[in-house]
A and B are shown apart, each in its own frame.
Chain A
Amino acid sequence: MESIQIAVKLKTPDPQAVTAINTIRDMRLQLPPLKIHRYELWEFEVSSGGRETVSELVRHFTDIVNPNKQTWLFPEKESSFSEEDPELQWVGIVVRDHLDSISENWTDLLKRRGFAVESLRYGVLWRLGYLKDTDEALTKKMALDLSVSDTRAGGLFSNPVSQEVSFWI
């Protein structure tokens, strides 16, 4: 079994990322992220064929990647996100629903269609770009604080009651 992720991004500026950066600006944080990118993150547990299996299903299902408006990549390490500003220090935060019908239904569909996929998990990857000289541990803590909405004025990217957050590595 092999775990393979793909990150899907709009070709145009993502309105959700624009809203996020504007909302964070209004929060008047001491060290806010200066740029934000948003990706849909699909993680496939593939039983055979590896990347070729995933590439094939991406070509097949335009609901996962619509080539007219989206691009995608296999994110394996920080340098995979080559379009991002290298002058910033980037932190990846993954938000997933605890119970997720999108993942369950796609898993069923892909199995029925005969793809070598045992399961998949859908999530959103928020990439937050901070000033490069900020302490790395502090940057990660700030990113995590910003990601969990404990209060209505607090974090932004996840509701802790129904969603979980983790660092993208």
Chain B
Amino acid sequence: MPRAAVIRFPGSNCEFETARALKNSGVDARIYNWNDIGKLSDARADAYVLPGGFSFQDRIRAGVIAAREEIMDLVFEEAMNGKPVLGICNGAQVLLESGLVPGWKPGSVQGALAGNLAPGRSGYLSGWIHLKAGPDAIQKCPWLCAMGTDSIPAPIAHAEGRFVFREEDMGKVGGHIGLTYCGVDGSAPQGWPENPNGSVLDIAGLMNSEGNVLAMMPHPERSLHLWQVPPDTPGHWGDLRRNSSLKDLEENPGPGAVIFKSLAKHLGVE
């Protein structure tokens, strides 16, 4: 069975559900502390996940302290060797501060997850949005290869989730789009709240050039089961949620499961 490593920094708080999501998809998952460098190195995992939370209490800037930890040298090396790496929310912030995404020059910080920009609001926001895979992402990204072209609902919870790039780099960004925010029907978002944070090009998830590293702000591990979808969600998933029996709710996967099933598919899990 392929193995994934979930890396826990001080302040991570989504490691258990992330590991459970991987296991549910047929990928063995183990949680490693940020200072378990020797153990992680010996484990030679097939994939790495940086879970959500508030690593190092978001001190100075979200993700910046975790990005400097020695364990990230190993993740960096494995990413460069083509291993799948996923950063969810705070994990995504760590990947951007590490220079792994967009990764035009790996190790250089070439993108940012800046503070949310929404009319009349600032700071932390949480809610459900819809997202869909970017044009090349299904072919290119091991975390999205089982995703269809339809939109899926997903929860978000962040204060700094707005993808931004330097003006001169904007022309290169298109090929790195893993996930975008969208309307329920997959249409382009009409501003807030469909694009909840003002992210450029409506980006919700960003890949490196090779596609093996994905930094995404929504939390797929929090929509692993159908019962986790709010009953008032519009569209297909909402209908499914409303029309399901209690037994179906308990047994059927939620929209976020596809991210982890994609990895399982990529790693050859039947």
Give me the interface of A with B, judged by CB distance under 8 Å.
15-16, 19-20, 23, 26, 97-102, 104-105, 108, 149-154, 156-163
Contacts and interface: CB of A to CB of B under 8 A. Distances in A.
Contact of A23 (B68, B97, B98): B68
Interface residues of B, number: 33
Nearest to A103: B122
B180 to A, nearest CB: 19
Contacts of A20: 59-60
A161 B118 contact: no
Interface string B113-147: 11111101111000000000000000000000000
B68 A159 contact: no
Given A108-B120, A149-B97, A151-B108, A100 B60 contact: no
Given A97-B115, A105-B122, 15 more contacts: A15-B59, A19-B57, A20-B59, A100-B115, A101-B117, A149-B61, A149-B64, A151-B109, A152-B72, A153-B107, A157-B60, A159-B97, A160-B109, A162-B113, A162-B114
B99 A161 contact: no
A16 B61 CA distance: 9
Contacts of A108: 120
A161 B59 CA distance: 18
19 contacts: A15-B59, A16-B59, A23-B65, A97-B114, A99-B164, A99-B198, A101-B115, A101-B117, A104-B122, A149-B97, A150-B109, A152-B68, A152-B107, A157-B61, A159-B114, A161-B110, A161-B166, A162-B114, A162-B164
Contacts of B117: 99, 101
A41 B206 CA distance: 32
A150 B108 contact: yes
A153 B120 contact: no
A156 B114 contact: no
A151 B110 CA distance: 9
